[in-house]
C-alpha cells in the first residue's frame, strides 16, 4: 500500500493506493486544489538516460527510478480521479553530447518539450543552447558542473553543483589523514570543474594537490596516464609517508580500466584510493576478484551525495533494487523525485506549458519531501543542500562507511 499525503492550504488528506510495498508519504504544498484537472488524456514527457556509454552503469538505475515514479504518480492521479495520465518516452543518450542533442531534437519533433535528463554535464552543456532557444525545459538528475549554474535558464538540476561537491570531497579525504592528493580526472566540463573545486578547498584547509593527470573523455586505455601516475606517487612517497598520500579518480565507468592499468605498478597500491560521484555502487568492483582485492588493499573509498535514508527512501529503494537485481545509485532516486516534481507541477498549474511549469517548478520542489530528502533549489535552479555518503567495499558488496553533513562539516562513521 502506497500513500501520498498532500497539503492544500490547511487541508491534509492521504490517498492510499496499491503497490508492492507499504506506505510511502510524499508531502507537497500546492496553493490551490486542482483535483478537477483541465489536463486530459496522456501527457508526454521525455527521458534521456545513459543506457550505453561511460555512464551506462547508472542508466539502468535511472530508468528504473523514473519508470517507478511514473507508475506511482499515475496511481496518485487515478485516486484523485484526474482526467489525465503521465507518460515518459525514454531515449538512450549514450552518455554522448551529440547523441543527446539528436534525441532532444527528436523529442521536440514529437512536441515533447519537458525532458528528464540528460545525466552528465557534458551532455547538458551541449543540448542547452537548443533547449533554451526552442522553449524546452530539462530537469537533470545528475549534472552538477558549476559553470551550468545559471539563473532563469531552462535547466533545473536535482544535484548539488561541483563547488558544493568539491568542498565535501576535499574535507572527507583530508579527514582521513591524507595531506597530499594526486588526482586523475576526466577532462570535460564536469571533471575539470570538480577537480578545480577540490583543488581549491583541499589547499585551503592545508593539503597539497599534485598536478595530476588529465585524460580525454573518450580515453579507453590508460597505459601512459598510469605510468605517469606511478611516477607522481613515487615522487611523493620518496619524501612523505605513503599513508598520507591519496589518489583520487574523478571519472565515470572508465575508472575500472584505470584501476586495471594501476595493477601493473606495485607502488600504486601502497597508497589510499578515492573515487568521485558516478563511481559508487558499480557491480564490477565487487564482482571482479582482481578489482575487489585492489579495493581492499587500497581501502578504496568513493564519495557521493546521499539520500534521506528515511522509511520512504527504503521502500522505494527496495522496489527499484527488486527490479534491477542489485544496489541502486543515488541517481535512481533523484530521477524518481524529479518525475514526481514534474507531475505535481503540472497538476498544480493544470498545464504542461513550458513557461508555466518552469515558473512553478521551484515552489513545488521546495515544498516536496522526496526520497532524497529536501529538493529545495537554489537561485540557479540546482539542489540547494545535500549530505554525502562515504562508501567502501567489504564482504563482496558496497557498504556505507560514513556520512558527511555539509552544513555542520561533521563526519559520522557508520561502518
Q: Which of 144, 137, 140 is nearest to 162 (CA)?
A: 144
Instruction: Quote the cell numbers at residue 20.
Output: 508492492
145 and 206 inside one domain: no
* pLDDT of residue 26 exceeding 80: no
- We report the CATH number of the domain holding residue 292 as 3.40.50.2300
The helix or strand, by DSSP H or E, that contains position 14, with its residue range, turns out to be strand 11-17
Report pLDDT digits (tens) over 44-71: 999 999 999 999 989 999 999 999 999 9
233 and 267 inside one domain: yes
144 and 6 inside one domain: yes
In terms of residue numbers, what domain contains 320? 2-160+308-385
* pLDDT of residue 281 exceeding 90: no
CA distance 214 to 186: 6
Contact 280, 301 (CB under 8 A): no
* pLDDT of residue 182 exceeding 90: yes
The pLDDT assigned to 37 comes to 53
Q: What percent of the chain has pLDDT over 90?
A: 80
Report pLDDT digits (tens) over 120-159: 999 999 999 999 999 999 999 999 999 999 999 999 999 9
Mean pLDDT, the chain, as a whole number?
Answer: 91
How many domains does the structure of the chain reveal? 2
90 and 136 inside one domain: yes
* pLDDT of residue 311 exceeding 50: yes
The pLDDT assigned to 366 comes to 98
Q: What's the whole-number mean pLDDT along residues 298-326? A: 93
46 and 149 inside one domain: yes
The pLDDT assigned to 119 comes to 97
135 and 170 inside one domain: no
Choice between 162 and 280, residue whose per-residue pLDDT is larger: 162
122 and 31 inside one domain: yes
CA 335 distance to own-chain centroid = 8
CA distance 86 to 113: 14
71 and 88 inside one domain: yes
φ/ψ of residue 340, rounded to 5: -60, -45
pTM for the structure as a whole: 0.90
Across 2-16, 140-154, 301-315, least confident range: 2-16
Which letter does DSSP use for residue 359 in this model? H
Report pLDDT digits (tens) over 135-145: 999 999 999 99
Residue identified by cell 508519504 is 25
Task: Describe the crossing of helices 330-349 and 311-324 by its angle, rounded to 10 degrees.
Answer: 110
The helix or strand, by DSSP H or E, that contains position 308, with its residue range, turns out to be none
The pLDDT assigned to 282 comes to 77
The pLDDT assigned to 10 comes to 28
The pLDDT assigned to 415 comes to 64
Listed in order, strand segments (DSSP E) in 50-163 are 84-92, 114-116, 137-140, 155-157
293 and 358 inside one domain: no
Across 26-35, 231-240, 387-396, least confident range: 26-35
13 and 142 inside one domain: yes
pLDDT band per the 50, 70, 90 thresholds, residue 178? very high
Concatenate the DSSP letters of all residues of 76-101 into one string. HHHHTT-SEEEEEEEEE-TT-HHHHH
Which letter does DSSP use for residue 348 in this model? H
CA angle at 336 for the pair 334 and 339, rounded to the nearest 5°: 105
* pLDDT of residue 275 exceeding 70: yes
Is residue 149 reached through a cis peptide bond, with omega within 30 degrees of 0 on the bond before it? Answer: no
Q: Which of 335, 415, 345, 403 is nearest to 168 (CA)?
A: 403
250 and 368 inside one domain: no
* pLDDT of residue 214 exceeding 70: yes
208 and 119 inside one domain: no
Amino acid at each position: 500500500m502506497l500513500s501520498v499525503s498532500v497539503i492544500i492550504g490547511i487541508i491534509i488528506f492521504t490517498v492510499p493506493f496499491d503497490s508492492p510495498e507499504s506506505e510511502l508519504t510524499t508531502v507537497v504544498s500546492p496553493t490551490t486544489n486542482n483535483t478537477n484537472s483541465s489536463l486530459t488524456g496522456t501527457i508526454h514527457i521525455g527521458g534521456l538516460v545513459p543506457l550505453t556509454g561511460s555512464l551506462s552503469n547508472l542508466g539502468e538505475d535511472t530508468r528504473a527510478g523514473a519508470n517507478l515514479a511514473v507508475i506511482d504518480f499515475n496511481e496518485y492521479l487515478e485516486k484523485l480521479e484526474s482526467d489525465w495520465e503521465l507518460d515518459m518516452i525514454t531515449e538512450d543518450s549514450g552518455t554522448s553530447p551529440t547523441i543527446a542533442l539528436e534525441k532532444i531534437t527528436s523529442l521536440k519533433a514529437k512536441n515533447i518539450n519537458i525532458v528528464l535528463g540528460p545525466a552528465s554535464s557534458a551532455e547538458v552543456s551541449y543540448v542547452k543552447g537548443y533547449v533554451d532557444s526552442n522553449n524546452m525545459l530539462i530537469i537533470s538528475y545528475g549534472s552538477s558542473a558549476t559553470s551550468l549554474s545559471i539563473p532563469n535558464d531552462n535547466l533545473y538540476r536535482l544535484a548539488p553543483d561541483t563547488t558544493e561537491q568539491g568542498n565535501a570531497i576535499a574535507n572527507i579525504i583530508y579527514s582521513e589523514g591524507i595531506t597530499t592528493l594526486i588526482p586523475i580526472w576526466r577532462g570535460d566540463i564536469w571533471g575539470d570543474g570538480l577537480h578545480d573545486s577540490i583543488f581549491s578547498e583541499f589547499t585551503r584547509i592545508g593539503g597539497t594537490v599534485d598536478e595530476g593527470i588529465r585524460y580525454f573523455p573518450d580515453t579507453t586505455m590508460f597505459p601512459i596516464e598510469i605510468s605517469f601516475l606511478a611516477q607522481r606517487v613515487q615522487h611523493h612517497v620518496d619524501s612523505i609517508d605513503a599513508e598520507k598520500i591519496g589518489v583520487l579518480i574523478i571519472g565515470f565507468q572508465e575508472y575500472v580500466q584505470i584501476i586495471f592499468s594501476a595493477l601493473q605498478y606495485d607502488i600504486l597500491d601502497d597508497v589510499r584510493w578515492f573515487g568521485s560521484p558516478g563511481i559508487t555502487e558499480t557491480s564490477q568492483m565487487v564482482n571482479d576478484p582482481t578489482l575487489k582485492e585492489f579495493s581492499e588493499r587500497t581501502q578504496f573509498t568513493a564519495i557521493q551525495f546521499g539520500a534521506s535514508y528515511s522509511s520512504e527512501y527504503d521502500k522505494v529503494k527496495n522496489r527499484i533494487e527488486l527490479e534491477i537485481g542489485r544496489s541502486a545509485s543515488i541517481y535512481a532516486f533523484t530521477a524518481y523525485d524529479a518525475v514526481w516534481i514534474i507531475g505535481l507541477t503540472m497538476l498544480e498549474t493544470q498545464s504542461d506549458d513550458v513557461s508555466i511549469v518552469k515558473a512553478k517548478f521551484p515552489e513545488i520542489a521546495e515544498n516536496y519531501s522526496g526520497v532524497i530528502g529536501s529538493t529545495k533549489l537554489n537561485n540557479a535552479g540546482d539542489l540547494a543542500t545535500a549530505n554525502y555518503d562515504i562508501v567502501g567495499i567489504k564482504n563482496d558488496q558496497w557498504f556505507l562507511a560514513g556520512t558527511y553533513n555539509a552544513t555542520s562539516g561533521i563526519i559520522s562513521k557508520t561502518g
